Structure 1
Amino acid sequence: MPTSMKFGKTYARERARIARAASDPHFAHEQHLSALRALLAKAHQGSAFYRDRLDEALGPAFDMSTFTLADLRRLPILDKDQLRAAGEAALVVPRWQLDSVETSGSNRAAPLSFFLDKDRSPREMAFVYDAWSRVGFTERDARASLRGFHLGDGGSGIHEWDPALRELKLAVFPMTAQDVAAYLDEIDRRQIRFLYGYPSAIELLCRRMQQIERRPRLAIKGILPISEPLYDHQRSLIRRVLGDVAFGVFYGLSEKVAFAAEVPGSDGLYEFNPLYGVAELVDENGTPVTEPGREGRVVGTGFLSTGMPFIRYDTGDFGTLVEAPTPGNGERLRIRGLAPRRKPGFLISFDGHRVVALDLTPEDPAFFKGIAEYQFYQDTPGDVVIRYILDQNGSASDVERLSAFLAEKCRGSLAFRQEAVSQIVAGRGGKRAFIDQRLDITQY
């Protein structure tokens, strides 16, 4: 059944709105402002927690139908601790109408429990499929999926075909060379042209393809990464193995407060969708970042799920301003260097400073010759362990080469040592973390 039929009229209506807003900035601005006013009115009427916050900032007689984007900046920024303290007082509808959700937590922060509208999925998928359409993926295309599925024991349990989703599910563990040969047989048999899943798993799939010197019979058209940051060295490796494939990258949050898609042809440039919510970039004082090239943290006000509103919610993510939202550009914030709060790309130096691991990692896949998998591990400032698995042609000298490159580049702020392992540690759902960081990042 086509995706448009599975998700129904709501999905079709949202896809049409998204398409119109992309070509009509005035329509995007009007829809953006209308959704914001409706959200504020709903929050004020239905939640004692939000009513108190809004009345304190705007005055109890404020008319929400006249609310503007400038007024939004008068409201305080909301953090997780305040939401935890508010509990169900932040709800604007009865609890039974909502789904209970919990974030996994990050940087040793406690998970956040919250609630989402039960009917959010069709609207959510409209934005996801719109982002994927930018690389040619349609509702009729099949995809190979690497998301840590548990597919059963033994035999052909390493892969499974889902005809309803037109999805070939591939187990990310153990993903041996023999497994990948079987995966490629299935990809060829089903004429699949798109790969979907964790970037770490797609990277490993490509490394295994190099190892067995085999590629899909039909050229892969696009990569649809989810859930993890996509690093430059991963893009380089994937393109080296599969050719100049397009990446359908999007940014989203469990709390449904903001959604951004990567601009086609501009790796690392994200554009936030105004129909999904209001995305702001603010400095450490909560002041809007207006100067291109300056970094700020992402604050979101979501329109997708409104039973528990998130109004000026501090996501904990960071980015660098490229273009501020205006009525003329359809209220589309553009940023680079989007750094997610989860699984941060930081190592801690001897003197207690953060080192961005991506700044150390070479983009050229040649630096990783002979290394099938690797991961940085740290539990002591300044001391970093490179956990690695060699491929069939690799040797200890390959790891020494990478280690020497990193040591020289960080100029003594970090010391690297090597540790051969049989398996790279993975988290929930089969994600292979680029950094297994055991230090409390918030203390540095």
Structure 2
Amino acid sequence: MSNSKIKLSQGMTSKAFNILGKNSLTFKRTYDLLKKSQWWSADKLEEYQLEQLSKLINHAYENVPYYHRIFDERGLKPKDIQDFKNLEQLPLLTRDIIRENSRDLCARNYSPDQFQHVTTGGSSGTPLELYLESGVTDAKEWAFMKTQWERVGYRFRDKCSIFRGYNVPSSENKFWKSQLFGRWMIFSSYDINEKNIESYVKKIKEYKPKFIQAYPSAITLFAKHLKENDLNNFPPIKAILCGSENIFPVQRKFLEETFNTKVFSWYGLTEKVVLAGECEVSNHYHIFPEYGITEVADESGKNISKGLGNIVGTSFNNYAMPLIRYKMGDLGELSSKKCDCGREYPLLERVEGRSQDIIITRDNSRITLTALIFGQHFNAFSHIKELQLVQDKKGELTFKIVKSDKFNTGDEKEILEKIKGISHGQIDLDFLYVDSIPKTERGKHRFLIQKSSDL
């Protein structure tokens, strides 16, 4: 595979629209399917999944050296994978396995120019390189995203302000750029501060978007500056479309109150193995069964029906480098409920966060960020601009805080008492006050930094 012939993914930008032009039939077929299939019965959805699984397994065995080897080592043939339970005979695929076997995971019946090179930092912050089916995977992805966003009224023709980590080169204090023929106005997430907030608001008022698409951390920071600077008469927004990071209850509540609108969140990955999103009536993540097979499994790879486990995905949309039973490093819990929207999609009761978003206490207990921080109500958080937790040792935690002028010793006391209570005194807390907290290379905000390999 020649690197000179590999196309670099640009995400959902104007290049993605060019890709759609070349693969418009793939997009249309997928979109037309989803308009119908979202209302199929559970039995019909399962039948569709099993058909797609059979095609994928046969392709992987015949054309992908890694899977051929795995099947042979386990004495398996494609016919042995007949249902979802049979999938447990195959091992979990991890990021380390992908790194060690990247060439052998690429399908041999694809030519070099059919591979699209992408990278992801993922929840661990360690880069991962992989390949999608050039153009085709993106075209299908767009069809799913269009279907998903339409639940809350978004159409591609609608004006949308974007806060997703883009670093827009500024000139004359312009921290934005127009894209997709004016349908998107992309704002820099790296320059949101008190000095620039008025220029941001002025531009948004001039642009008059119907929707905002954002990383939760970026739009929360923007909203905090809005409130602190008492900037009124913000244009009405139909919905805020959040993705690529966990959205915590305290963020959702704050955003909905600040913008007086609904926050609609989705869960997806660069690896394109799982896609799920909220619907028009529920905050549960609806898993797209047409996208692939989603499992919640324990560390051994066995499926669990209750409780928190590893989210494991098998994608139907990337035959160039099939990812089967990919353990992405995220934690979730399936729901036994059915949504009132009428779709028979499986639901995620919760996405608790990345498996790395776990605090280790002095007695080796594990507490998720949601349980420790975002599942509680802190009055102090209304006086904090940005927050990051740093853990170097078990049972020790540093709160790195960018505080507002209203932050006081009472806020510090409240945080100390609540962390002590939820951890049963097994966490010692320290405070570090800073002027700013650096973003990742992709412009995301990491709530937890753990520096020790012992954690």
User: Deviation per CA, 1:18-74, whole angstroms, max 9, x where unpaired?
Assistant: 1211111254333322221211121122123222333455645x558x944343333
- The corresponding residue for 1:72 is 87
What is the percent sequence identity of the aligned residues? 24
Q: Which of 180, 203, 210 matches 2:227?
A: 210
Candidates 88, 99, 107, aligned match of 1:84: 99
Question: 3-state DSSP class of the match of 1:398?
Answer: helix
Contact 1:20 1:27 in 2 (8 A): no
What is the letter of the counterpart of residue 229 of structure 1? N
- Kept in 2, the 8 Å contact 1:387–1:419? The answer is yes
More displaced 10-residue stretch of structure 1: 136-145 or 388-397: 388-397
- Among 319, 325, 339, the alignment partner of 1:306 is 319
Given candidates 374, 389, 395, the residue that maps to 2:402 is: 389
Q: Under a length normalisation based on structure 2, what TM-score does the superposition of the two structures give?
A: 0.85
Q: Measure how far apart 1:105 and its partner are.
A: 5.4
Does the aligned pair in 2 maintain the 1:233–1:365 contact within 8 Å?
Answer: no
Task: Quote the offset at 1:438 in angstroms.
Answer: 2.0
Question: Which amino acid in structure 1 is aligned with residue 288 of structure 2?
Answer: N
Which residues in structure 2 correspond to 1:11-410 (within 5 Å)? Answer: 11-25=27-41, 26-57=43-74, 59-60=76-77, 63=79, 67-92=82-107, 93-104=110-121, 106-107=123-124, 111-119=127-135, 120-164=137-181, 166-243=183-260, 245-267=261-283, 269-290=284-305, 293-323=306-336, 332-341=345-354, 344-361=356-373, 363-364=376-377, 366-410=379-423
Match of 2:354, SS? coil
Please say if residues 117 and 129 of structure 2, whose CA atoms lie closer than 8 Å, have aligned partners that are also in contact.
yes
Given that 2:361 and 2:426 are in contact with CA atoms closer than 8 Å, whether structure 1 keeps it comes out as yes
| Structure 1 residues 63 and 371, CA gap change in structure 2 (3 angstroms) | closer
Contact kept, 8 Å, 1:369 with 1:398, in 2: the verdict is no
Give 1:159 deviation, angstroms.
2.1
Query: If the length of structure 1 is used for normalisation, what is the TM-score?
Result: 0.87
AA partner of residue 195 (structure 1): I
* Deviations 1:264-284, CA, capped at 9 Å, x for gaps: 4433x2221111111112233
**Cα distance, 1:364–1:423 mapped onto 2, change above 3 Å:** same
Amino acid at match of 2:32: A
Over the aligned positions, Cα root-mean-square deviation in angstroms equals 2.9
Equivalent residue of 1:432, what SS? coil
Q: Residues 406, 216 of structure 1: CA spacing in aligned structure 2 closer, same or farther, 3 A cutoff?
A: farther
Q: Deviations over 1:188-241 (max 9, x none)?
A: 222213221211111111111111222454322211112211111111211221
For residues 278-307 of structure 1, what are the alpha-carbon distances to aligned partners after superposition, in whole Å with 9 as ceiling and x for unaligned?
Answer: 1112233322223xx322222211111111
1:383–1:72 Cα change, 3 Å: closer
Distance (whole Å) between structure 2 residues aligned to residue 306 and residue 295 of structure 1? 30
The secondary structure found in structure 1 opposite 2:103 is helix
Contact map agreement 1:236 1:365 (CA 8 A) in 2: no
Is this contact kept in 2: 1:3–1:140, CA < 8 A? no
Q: CA distance change for structure 1 residues 215 and 358 in 2, over 3 Å: closer, same or farther?
A: farther
Distance 2:362 2:171 in 1: 46
Q: What secondary structure is seen at the aligned counterpart in 1 of 2:143? A: helix
What amino acid maps onto 2:361 in structure 1? Answer: S
Count of aligned pairs between the two proteins: 431
Q: Cα gap change, 1:28/1:114 in structure 2, threshold over 3 Å: closer, same or farther?
A: same
Deviation at 1:177, TM superposition (A): 2.6
Equivalence for 1:427: 440
Alignment partners' CA distance in 1, 2:58 and 2:407:
62
Separation in structure 1 between the aligned mates of residue 372 and residue 451 of structure 2, nearest angstrom: 19
Counterparts of 1:324 and 1:87 in 2: how far apart (Å)? 38
Amino acid at match of 2:423: C
Deviation of residue 99 (structure 1)? 1.9
Contact 1:184 1:216 in 2 (8 A): no
Mapped to 2, the partners of 1:134 and 1:75 lie a distance apart of 35
Shift of 1:381: 2.3
Q: Measure, in 2, the Cα distance between the counterparts of 1:240 and 1:428.
A: 30
Whether the 8 Å contact between 1:279 and 1:333 is mirrored in structure 2 is no
* 1:424 CA displacement: 1.5
Q: Residue 275 of structure 1 aligns to which amino acid in structure 2?
A: E
Unaligned stretches of 5+ residues in structure 2 = 1-13
- Partners of 1:232 and 1:34 lie apart in 2 by 38
